[in-house]
A and B are shown apart, each in its own frame.
Chain A
Amino acid sequence: MPLAAAPLCLFLGRGLLPWIFATGVCWVAFVIAIALALDLSGGSVITYQMGGWAPPLGIEYRLDALSAVALLIVTGAAAAVSLYSRPSVLREIEPANHGLFYTLFLLCVTGLAGVVATGDAFNVFVFLEVASLSTYCLVALGGRKDRRALSAAYTYLVMGTIGATFFVIGVGLAYMVTGTLNMVDLAQRLPPIGDNRTVAAAFTFIAVGMGMKLAMFPLHLWLPNAYTFAPSAVSAFLAGTSTKVAVYVLIRFLFTVFGLEFDFEQFALIAVFLPLGIAAMFVASIVAIFQVDAKRMLAYSSVAQIGYMILGISLATKTGLTGAILHMGNHAIMKVALFMTMGAIMYRLGTTSIPHMAGLGRDMPWTMAAFVIGGLSLIGVPLTVGFISKWYLIQAALELGWWPIAMLIVMSSLLAVIYVWRIVEMAYLQPSPPNRQISRAPTIMLLPMWVLVLANIYFGIDASFPTTLANQAALLLLGGQP
């Protein structure tokens, strides 16, 4: 549906109309996604055949519990950000480009939702590129304020395209040995082939390609700059969705398509994904501690959080996967909220560098309070969502008897305390500069921000809905055929 809406948006021109329209579309999509998720949490599968062609030949859309989680993330983030975006877009993007901005935004939502919904391996690539191309443009729109956005967008484009092309090579190789592109079909035909070198190559290409897209350490170089220099609304949306969708694709291919039958896959999970996940948790957190710019700090912390997801995936047990999927959703909630606070600070203060935030806790109380709660969630303090998913990850590590990994998870969470504390200290404990006049953030920015923050706490206390959904998804993934 956002696909049909995107071109329409282009004609609405400047002014208020594109915003109202885009926001409406996102909210409708979000409501549909909630309805779907409630439907799918029972473990059923919905399929829809494009153009009436039967699945192995035609393109099939296929939704199960895992897709429901990802779809909720995408549409939820889109709905919140679209509502929030108005003031910050007014400030940061030329008026003539507003219609274009919302068109790109809707296209990006379309692409991401498409990736999640499709059951066809090549279709994933097409939608991924729809989403990525609009993302490159959205990042480049930040070029008016800071020209570094342009080179960031360029780096992202080159890295993203290489990643996508690797993915296509992998899909091509898999097609070569199986003669099918449908994911369910692939999953049935791959195991009998056994340890074939072509299959191993296909696996490697897909894993590396997706690793690039999801900014898996050490392929994350494009991410910090792209998030830092993009317009605030765009960073909020990207942080919540684009990497999560890539994680979704990785999980989908690792578990649904390839299954766990292959020796080389087991080896890759333990020997490659696990150390890289842990390395990401530590290296990115340590780098985050030394950032001057708060947005860039949050971007590095995103890389670290992706490390947790990779860790959960690599454990390949039910609890581990549940943790990874939960963390996908929870991280989306908290990071979107955190980047929204950054957007509000940018709107009032004109910069997000940490030394400039002195005393901001008194000038913008609501925004900074939202930041503190989001930050606590990032650390994983009990009663916030961050705690739930980390709890699952630690439990998964302990189940396998790998207690050093559980220790590492806790230790890297302590690093998060340091970088969140730096901002909190600056905002609350430092005096504000004497001649600064700053009013509170506009209500329309605060509203979605606080909805997300409250969701943060609510799902931290009563986690039954997301946990059931994630549990169901993990069951489906490990149970082979859904």
Chain B
Amino acid sequence: MDTDFIIGHYNYWLVILLMMTGLYTVVSRGNYIKKIVGLNVFQTSVFMMYISMGKVSGGTAPILETGITLYSNPLPHVLILTAIVVGVATTAVGLSIVVRIHQAYGTIEEDEVNDADHRMEFGKEDLP
């Protein structure tokens, strides 16, 4: 592992950093909105991985000019467009569920919601 390796792969280091930040946020935060933010960061890191994968050094986009032979791989970009759409949809569904949770529980903190559930399940026993 020399310096060239570390600098040459800087995009991957960033991706890993973002990925771990996102995952850690999802796991450690109790706030439902913060969890979704973490999820988004996590997904973005994957988008970046795909995009940097399609990069060819010195390459450009073969539009507007003719005669370009060295160009970036467009396929990962297209894939990520799809993945971004999926990500947006997921975020939208997630946030709307959070809204419903807020209406039903009056809080969006995970531990308070769990407390309320627990009280509901074991607090008032009405079994025969």
Contacts and interface: CB of A to CB of B under 8 A. Distances in A.
A161 B39 CA distance: 8
A172 B50 contact: yes
A154 B101 contact: yes
Contacts of A172: 46, 49-50, 53, 76
B107 to A, nearest CB: 11
Given A162-B42, A168-B83, A157 B94 contact: yes
Interface stretch (B1-9, B61-69, B85-93): B85-93
B128 interface: yes
B101 A162 contact: no
A432 B101 CA distance: 37
Contacts, number: 84
A415 interface: no
Contacts of A150: 97, 100-101, 104-105
Given A133-B89, A162-B39, A154 B97 contact: yes
B11 interface: no
A143 interface: yes
Contacts of A157: 90, 93-94, 97
A75 to B, nearest CB: 24
A433 B126 CA distance: 14
Interface string B99-128: 011001100000001100100100000011
A178 interface: no
A212 to B, nearest CB: 13
B35 A140 contact: no
A126 B105 CA distance: 33
B79 A122 contact: yes
Contact of A158 (B39, B89, B104): B39
A147 interface: yes
Interface residues of B, number: 34
Given A129-B89, A154-B94, A169 B101 contact: no
B42 A147 contact: no
A175 interface: yes
B20 interface: no
Contact of A161 (B43, B104, B117): B43
- The size class of the interface chain A forms with chain B is 20 to 34
Interface string A246-275: 000000000000000000000000000000
B90 A133 contact: yes
Interface in A307-365: 353, 355-356, 358
Interface string A108-125: 000000000000001001
Given A129-B90, A158-B39, A168-B83, A175 B76 contact: yes
A168 B94 CA distance: 19
B86 A154 contact: no
Interface in A149-168: 150-151, 153-154, 157-158, 161-162, 164-165, 168
A121 to B, nearest CB: 10
Contacts of A358: 128
Contacts of B75: 181
Contacts of B104: 143, 147, 150
A433 B46 CA distance: 57
Interface in A281-319: 292
A237 interface: no
A356 B127 CA distance: 8
A105 interface: no
Contacts of A169: 46, 49
A158 B32 CA distance: 10
Nearest to B108: A154
Contact of A165 (B43, B79, B93): B43
B26 A158 contact: yes
A228 B92 CA distance: 24
A433 B128 CA distance: 10
Contacts of B128: 355-356, 358, 433
A143 B90 CA distance: 19
A158 B35 contact: yes
Q: A-B pairs with the 10 shortest C-beta distances?
A: A147-B104, A129-B86, A150-B101, A355-B127, A154-B97, A150-B100, A157-B94, A161-B90, A172-B50, A151-B113
21 contacts: A133-B90, A140-B97, A143-B100, A147-B104, A150-B97, A150-B100, A150-B101, A150-B105, A154-B32, A154-B94, A154-B97, A154-B98, A154-B101, A157-B94, A158-B35, A158-B94, A161-B39, A162-B42, A168-B83, A172-B76, A181-B79
Interface of A: 122, 125-126, 129, 133, 136-137, 140, 143, 147-148, 150-151, 153-154, 157-158, 161-162, 164-165, 168-169, 172, 175-176, 181, 292, 353, 355-356, 358, 433
Interface of B: 23, 26, 32, 35-36, 39, 42-43, 46, 49-50, 53, 75-76, 79, 82-83, 86, 89-90, 93-94, 97-98, 100-101, 104-105, 113-114, 117, 120, 127-128
Given A157-B97, A161-B94, A168-B83, 8 more contacts: A125-B86, A126-B82, A136-B94, A136-B97, A150-B105, A161-B90, A176-B53, A355-B127
